[in-house]
Structure 1
């Protein structure tokens, strides 16, 4: 069982509350198809990922930075010969991503309805502020949350600032999310609790290679399973 002193439960948004990473995989494939005259599909994916990581400190997480990375990658792979029509198609890939439906994952509403009676629920997520606000509004889930925190990073210091802002102790904070790297390990390092709910696809940047089998966190295949721990 999770510690009884939990007062605040934070939920990651993308791929914890609703579908997100699937849209990025689709966009990457569409981008690779557009650039197929310049490189192999595998090479295009590799170069786009490298460009995304290079740009993270500048643009942060989210679709807008992803689109800029695609354009820069296209310019580099084509040796600056890419035509305006293709650039326009790349921009449209991003616009289509921003207009995707917000598909709430199975069990999320049941969990929020169950937990809202006993805990303060918040959202703690990375990404573009405008896009995350849009998705929260379209999802209809905003009514469940006392606070929404869109974070530029999810490291120990970022969570410590959030916990201090909430005026609670780390031991009173529980994070629920799909990323071991962002939603679990930093919390354990500062004395908070975490539950891992894996999504079927994970961005390469969020993958963890270290052995986590002996760490003190729960991992469930379905979000509704967390109700047995609280």
Structure 2
């Protein structure tokens, strides 16, 4: 009976962290819009869960018999704790204001995602060339856009500036999916589709800009 309970406990916990521990990053599948209100609420929930797991780890270390079963429980909970830290870092890094916080959260976690955070930091400090290199390194390993507003916006912008329009459009589209109200991205998409000769899609983003009343952008469109 005890063996079944142990296995059941492990199965439940391991299922919760499986994608993270297998480096498939289910956090990158975060659906829908990533507005600031959603991010704040989600992070608060994750903080509470992190505190609960950390307390559970401490209790196990303090009171449980020091055997293989204890080691398994602690190892599983540490993996889950790291999963929560990664999730918080992923969400909070959608803002430059929270970038240092995000970097500190995963400082002790081995993950390729740190390349993106370093790239955002470099970009924010004016080192666009180095930022582009790090983004390209990450997306060489993981070719598809992540479910992240700021990473897609900045990488898309850097590709746009390099006139790599076919690559840029994929990331800019994902960025605008996360923040549809961002006029700057609609403008870059308008310009990108113009360069690619896709007038139908260019018109879509021009119309969105006109409806949004983006005066500065619309002046640029008419020049």
- Give the TM-score taking structure 1 as reference length: 0.30
Q: With structure 2 as the length reference, what TM-score do the two structures score?
A: 0.30
Q: Which has the larger radius of gyration?
A: 2
Structure having the higher helix fraction is 2
